[in-house]
Chain A
Amino acid sequence: LMTAKSLASKETVNGRCWFYSDDDDGISVYLNRELHAMNTVVAQLQTQFQDYLVSLYQQGFLDNQFTELRKLQDEGTPDFVAEVVSLFFDDCSKLINSMSRSLERPENVDFKQVDSGVHQLKGSSSSVGARRVKNVCISFKECCDVQNREGCLRCLQQVDYEYKMLKTKLQDLFNLEKQIVQAGGAIPQHFPSYTILRPDIRPCLDA
């Protein structure tokens, strides 16, 4: 049989180290591209994204249901979370408007109307994992049950504040996401569950 020696000697005469290729498409580029897909920009954005998300959990804006929501997002529905969340915010704004109208006149408050709105809001916020909104809703409902218009108004204000707050936060998050995608990176999917980080603390309300 043929020996490999001849080949080896040929290579030796050539005298070049074969792996010191000048080729720009050499191994390093390849590795960079294929294996370390995240270049520094992407990596930075990803870190930023992660950190931001974590902070949202830690500050109680979001809870594990949001994680659930993110799990449902896949290639088929790449904007699922954003869609749901924007629907939620639209809902919020509509419901808050209607509730504030109901609570407008102090002598004739349709608490039933308000209650239904709060229930709706509570369900939605719970579904999307908007934890602070949900918590306010719980207090709101209690106020509603005892027909405490003052409390209701305060809660309404708070809900309004919270959902707008969350809206800006999530908008930032989605912007980051968009940037990562534009930079060619993948959105970090995995992050620890933060449910146990903070017990539910309801906003302090006057009795």
Chain B
Amino acid sequence: MVCEMETDQIEEMDVEVLSSMWPDDVGTQADNQFNVEKPAGDSDTLKEVDIAEKRTMADLKRLPELLNTTDQGSSQLTNLVRQWEYMQDHAVRLLREELKILTRQREEAEAKELKIIEEHNFETEEPENVPVLDETSHLFRRFRQKKRDELVDSKRVVIDEEFDTVAYWKQKALSLEKMLEASTERERRLIEKLNESLKTMESHSAPVEELTQNLKRAEGFLHFILQNAPIVMGHQDKDLRYLFIYNKFPSLREQDILGKTDVEIFHGGGVKESEDFKREVLEKGKASKREITFETELFGSKTFLIYVEPVYNKAREKIGINYMGMEVTDQVRKREKMAKLREDNAVRKAMESELTKTIHITEETMRAKQMLATMSHEIRSPLSGVVGMAEILSTTKLDKEQRQLLNVMISSGDLVLQLINDILDLSKVESGVMKLEATKFRPREVVKHVLQTAAASLKKDLTLEGNIADEVPILVVGDVLRIRQILTNLISNAIKFTHRGKVGIKLKVISEPSFASDKEQNETSVWICCDVYDTGIGIPENALPCLFKKYMQASADHARKYGGTGLGLAICKQLVELMGGQLTVTSQVNLGSTFTFILPYKVATSDDHSDDQDEFSDMVDHHQPEPDDTTEGYFQFKALHGSIYSNGGPVMGSNFLPHKAMLTSPIKLINGSVADPSNSSGQSQTVQVENGGYMDESESAHQYGNGNGHRCSSKESESCSSSQASSEMESELTVSSPREEEKTETEVKETSQQPKILLVEDNKINIMVAKSMMKQLGYTMDIANNGVEAINAVKDTSYDLVLMDVCMPVMDGLKATRLIRSYEESGNWDAAIEAGVDIKTSESEQGCERSTDRLPIVAMTANTLAESSEECYANGMDSFISKPVTLQKLKECLQQYLQ
């Protein structure tokens, strides 16, 4: 408020100069005077005016200065005056403002007072009391009024005269007369009034009439209600004959109903029931309700809710019934509909919950499957690691025992891997993750390679054959990997259950089968039927249905006997179906089984080799392409029984692991006869080298890699020189431990010229052990039981090495060695004869003329003082092995002397 005022003031000050309440001249004058004399406010201004310079003589130069300062002073004065004026104005304005406020306040107060007074006025004004009077009160008031009138009249008789004087009595009589007159007058008026009332009484007539009227109205109302109510009401007597009825069926007249029973009136369903119900109520004496559906010709099908109550007379005797019926057809229908709806809802809800449950179970199942798949995957990686490491380990230097253990380990690991891969494959197919690839491939090649591969690992005397009809296209499009997987699975399955006879694949083109969906067909499609047949144990008819189920095998016995996961066929079936085909089986027990799958392929138009090049690059011989490979329709492979081929090795590519080779038992390597014709006579023509299996792996693998292996074995005429193979192997072998290389080298050398070794030992047990060790190292040897026998043996046969026991009966090793050395020096056995050795001069005397190379003789010492090494060397021995002989010692010795 204050602030507002101030701003107002300032505005006003700028805009207009308000006239002050004081005379202007007076104020200004005084102010000015006051201002000049006592310049209170602005001392600075005055100081400026003050001239600090010394007063000097007034000169012209000084004058303008003075003038100037005077001007300054006067202007400052004017300023001061103006300032004072402003201040004055300001004060004036303030006062005026004050006044104004006061005036306003006074006015407000006055207005308030006025208002209060007015309010007070209103309050004092009493509202008029308007009594609501009824007739009786009106009468009563009138009566009261009359009474008051009477009171006014009956004022006391006042007599002025003296008591008991004539005058008094006269006066009294007069007054009494007056009173009588008044009384008479009153009586008359009353009679008048009475007459008047009587008249009005008559005019008002009687209240009975009114009541009667009212009653009539009520009856009319009731009648109306009853007639228009949506219910049938009736009254029936004891015999259930209608006495009254309201709202009868419109087409019926009253006489049609009254005096009759329901049964007499209506016909149809429900009539009897209602009649019985009414009778029941009548008998029981209790009111009751029931819903009855009528089926009458008159009004069709209608449902009524019927209320029946018994009626009694005053003597409490039943005289009949009251009955009310309401049509509830629509309601019933609605109700029924609702019930049905509710029922449906319940059913739906139940179904929903069932469905939810099913979904839940399905989800759980899927999750579980997913988990299994994940788990399998998780297991696979470390397992691969284990198997891989084991494989690497198997290439290192191991003894036989370790190798056996390792082989078990690898094969077990391999089995688990296979199992896991199967599981993963299955779950892949089932979850729809598996994608098919379309690649061009040659069915003939696929069949051939599958058979080749199978033949490679075949250990039974079986014939594998492939038969491809001419009309089968050279090149088709499909998922070759999967197809090969199916074929391999089926073939290995067939081989597993077949012990003699043959196993084969037959391909032919068939017409489109009935199950094929039309959509996926086009002109370039071809359906190829593939039979995989065998002459195996067959499958009993009752086992056929569960054949393709997971983990199922024809019987528990089979599972035990043949092993396997039971997943193979399930996977095959799923893969075939995934590709839009069908897998079926026919079988006869003991005669064989035929698995047939039909698949659609697109026929590839161009013979573009690039597409499938990758697929078979591991098998196809690039250096020697077989010209008939693409069109050849028949292949046959025989089991490579007893041959060096014991495994599929790298041929299999992704399907088999090369280490499978390890799983085979020691392989017999038949060698030498063809390769080394010079050594074609005598017992050493065929030398059996029995070995730990691993040694041959690279070689056989190589021969497969060469692509000629099968040809060699199946066509006997074609010579397949192992030395050639070996040399090639040496050049091609890349992954091979030093030991293996060394081994193979030894092998090559020794197989071409088996060394001859003589063991001189008297102890049978030692002989047995040493012989066994030699056998294990791949050598055979002759035995001499003492020095004399040794000399005779040396005389007859040229040995590459002699292992000589030192301490022997008849002639010890030292002496025998001395005699042998003596012979080597002299060229005759004289020394031996001298020593009493019975030299058998046999026909092969020319043996003496053999080269007199120094024969390596290795002593076998018991490491006692008597058999010191010095003594051995002194007697012409080259080296010694301390007993007991171990495999390692023997091996080192042989390596040293059989180079």
**CB-contact partner of A27 in B405, B551, B666, under 8 A:** B551
Given A72-B772, A87-B764, does the pair A29, B559 have CB atoms closer than 8 Å? yes
Contact B365 A17 (CB under 8 A): yes
A131 to B887, CA, bound (A): 18
B885 lies within 8 A of chain A by Cβ: yes
Q: Which residues of B contact A77 (CB under 8 A)?
A: 772
Given A23-B552, A25-B566, A76-B690, does the pair A4, B400 have CB atoms closer than 8 Å? no
The total of chain A residues at the interface (CB under 8 A) is 55
Closest to B771 in A: A72
Given A8-B432, A12-B362, does the pair A123, B563 have CB atoms closer than 8 Å? no
Closest to A129 in B: B884
A162 to B577, CA, bound (A): 72
Given A72-B772, A84-B769, does the pair A15, B763 have CB atoms closer than 8 Å? no
Contact B552 A189 (CB under 8 A): no
A161 lies within 8 A of chain B by Cβ: no
B416 lies within 8 A of chain A by Cβ: yes
A155 lies within 8 A of chain B by Cβ: no
B578 lies within 8 A of chain A by Cβ: yes
Q: Which residues of B contact A189 (CB under 8 A)?
A: 401, 404-405
Contact B412 A190 (CB under 8 A): no
Contact A4 B429 (CB under 8 A): yes
How does the 8 Å CB contact mask read for B626-668 relative to A, with 1 for contact and 0 for none? 0000000000000000000000000000000000000001100
A75 lies within 8 A of chain B by Cβ: yes
Q: Which residues of A contact B690 (CB under 8 A)?
A: 76
A8 to B370, CA, bound (A): 13
Given A15-B362, A18-B550, does the pair A72, B773 have CB atoms closer than 8 Å? yes
**CB-contact partner of B765 in A1, A24, A71, A84, under 8 A:** A84
Contact B763 A4 (CB under 8 A): no
A78 lies within 8 A of chain B by Cβ: no
Q: Which residues of A contact B362 (CB under 8 A)?
A: 12, 15
A64 to B402, CA, bound (A): 16
B81 lies within 8 A of chain A by Cβ: no
How does the 8 Å CB contact mask read for A169-196 relative to B, with 1 for contact and 0 for none? 0000000000000000000011000000
The distance from the CB of B457 to the nearest CB of chain A, in whole angstroms, is 18
A71 to B403, CA, bound (A): 11
B835 lies within 8 A of chain A by Cβ: no
A143 lies within 8 A of chain B by Cβ: no
Q: Which residues of B contact A69 (CB under 8 A)?
A: 769
B809 lies within 8 A of chain A by Cβ: yes
**CB-contact partner of A127 in B551, B665, B885, under 8 A:** B885
Given A18-B550, A25-B566, does the pair A65, B766 have CB atoms closer than 8 Å? no
Contact A5 B432 (CB under 8 A): yes
Contact A25 B559 (CB under 8 A): yes
A26 lies within 8 A of chain B by Cβ: yes
Given A1-B436, A2-B436, does the pair A126, B883 have CB atoms closer than 8 Å? yes
A188 to B796, CA, bound (A): 45
Interface residues in A66-94 by Cβ distance below 8 A to B read 68-72, 74-77, 80, 83-84, 87-88, 91
Contact B415 A4 (CB under 8 A): no
Given A25-B556, A123-B883, does the pair A190, B361 have CB atoms closer than 8 Å? no
A34 lies within 8 A of chain B by Cβ: yes
Interface residues in B503-560 by Cβ distance below 8 A to A read 520, 549-553, 555-556, 558-560
Q: Which residues of B contact A88 (CB under 8 A)?
A: 765
The distance from the CB of A143 to the nearest CB of chain B, in whole angstroms, is 14
Q: Which residues of B contact A80 (CB under 8 A)?
A: 772
State which of A44-52, A100-108, A114-122 sits at the interface with chain B: A114-122
The distance from the CB of B669 to the nearest CB of chain A, in whole angstroms, is 15
Contact A25 B552 (CB under 8 A): yes
B776 lies within 8 A of chain A by Cβ: yes
A150 lies within 8 A of chain B by Cβ: no
A29 to B564, CA, bound (A): 11
Interface-central residue, A35, A127, A189, by most chain B CB under 10 Å = A127
How does the 8 Å CB contact mask read for B577-601 relative to A, with 1 for contact and 0 for none? 1111000000000000000000000
Q: Which residues of B contact A15 (CB under 8 A)?
A: 358, 361-362, 365
The distance from the CB of A64 to the nearest CB of chain B, in whole angstroms, is 8
Given A72-B776, A72-B887, does the pair A26, B666 have CB atoms closer than 8 Å? no
Q: A5-B432, A30-B559, A126-B883 are in contact. List 6 more A-B contacts (CB 8 A).
A: A7-B577, A18-B369, A19-B369, A21-B549, A30-B566, A91-B764
Interface residues of A (CB under 8 A from B): 1-5, 7-8, 11-12, 15-19, 21, 23-27, 29-30, 33-35, 64-65, 68-72, 74-77, 80, 83-84, 87-88, 91, 116, 119-120, 122-124, 126-129, 141, 189-190
Question: What are 24 A-B pairs with beta-carbon distances under 8 A?
Answer: A1-B436, A4-B432, A7-B430, A7-B578, A12-B365, A12-B366, A16-B365, A18-B550, A21-B552, A24-B556, A25-B558, A30-B565, A34-B412, A65-B884, A70-B401, A72-B887, A87-B768, A116-B809, A123-B883, A126-B883, A127-B765, A127-B884, A189-B404, A190-B405
The 9 closest A-B pairs by CB, nearest first: A25-B559, A4-B432, A72-B772, A8-B432, A124-B765, A2-B580, A65-B884, A126-B884, A189-B401
Interface residues of B (CB under 8 A from A): 358, 361-362, 365-366, 368-369, 372, 399-402, 404-405, 412, 415-416, 419, 426, 429-434, 436, 438, 520, 549-553, 555-556, 558-560, 563-566, 574, 577-580, 665-666, 690, 762-766, 768-769, 772-773, 775-776, 805, 807, 809, 862, 864, 883-887
